[in-house]
Amino acid sequence: MLHLFCPDFRCENITDISPEWLRANKVKTIILDVDNTLLPWDASAPTSAHLAWIKKIKSAGLRLILLSNNGGKRLKNICSLVELPAVSWAAKPLPLGFKRALHGLKIKERGEVLVIGDQLITDVLGAKKLGLKVLLVESLSKKEFIITRLTRKIERVVINKLAKKGLMPKGGTK
Ligand SMILES: [Mg+2]
C-alpha cells in the first residue's frame, strides 16, 4: 500500500526540470497539476519564470496537459495564459481525470508519461494507481484549500514512514 504514495522523483520546483532530464528519463508527455505546482493556490497567473518554463518544455517538443481538481473561469484563464489544454474537476486521486488526460492526448504508451504535482494523496496516489511515473514538487504556497490543509497532516505521516523505510527518492532533477 505504501508504495502507492511513493513518488519516482522529487524536486523543489517545476522550473528545476530540464528538457534534457525529461528526455533522459524517456518522458514525452507531462500531466501537470495546477494549484501550488504551476502557480500558488490563490494566484491568478503563473510567474514569468513558470511561463518561461512551459514555453521551454513545449519548444523541446514535449507535450503537456493540465490536470486540476478545480475548474471554472480561473482555470480557463490559466489555460489561455499557458496555451495548454486542461482536464478540470479531475477528482484526483480517482483515475477518471487521469484517464481523460491520457485519452485526450491519445497516449498509448504510459511509460512515456510523467505526472507532476505537489500532493501525495491526489497527484502521487492517482498516478501510481494507473502505473504512471510521478514527480513530487514542493508546494508553491503554504496557503491551501481547507481540505488540503487536513490531508497535508496525513501526508506528513506518510512521508515520514516512506523516509524511514528509505523509499523517498532524493530530490533533484539535474
Ligand atoms: Mg496541487
- In angstroms, what is the span from residue 24 Cα to ligand 1's centroid? 25
Look at residue 172 and tell me if it is in a domain.
no
Of 81, 36, 77, which Cα lies nearest the Cα of 55? 81
Look at residue 116 and tell me if it is in a domain.
yes
User: What pLDDT, on the 0 to 100 scale, is given for residue 174?
Assistant: 59
Given a cut of 70, the residues of the chain with pLDDT beneath it are: 174
* Whole-model pTM over 0.85: yes
Look at residue 74 and tell me if it is in a domain.
yes
- In angstroms, what is the span from residue 132 Cα to ligand 1's centroid? 17
Q: Which residue shows C-alpha cell 481538481?
A: 69
Q: How many other CB atoms are there within 10 angstroms of residue 58's CB atom?
A: 15
Tell me the CATH number at 158: 3.40.50.1000
Look at residue 130 and tell me if it is in a domain.
yes
Question: Domain range spanning residue 16?
Answer: 2-164
Number of structural domains in the chain? 1
Look at residue 174 and tell me if it is in a domain.
no
Look at residue 30 and tell me if it is in a domain.
yes
- In angstroms, what is the span from residue 120 Cα to ligand 1's centroid? 9
Q: How many other CB atoms are there within 10 angstroms of residue 78's CB atom?
A: 22
- In angstroms, what is the span from residue 91 Cα to ligand 1's centroid? 12
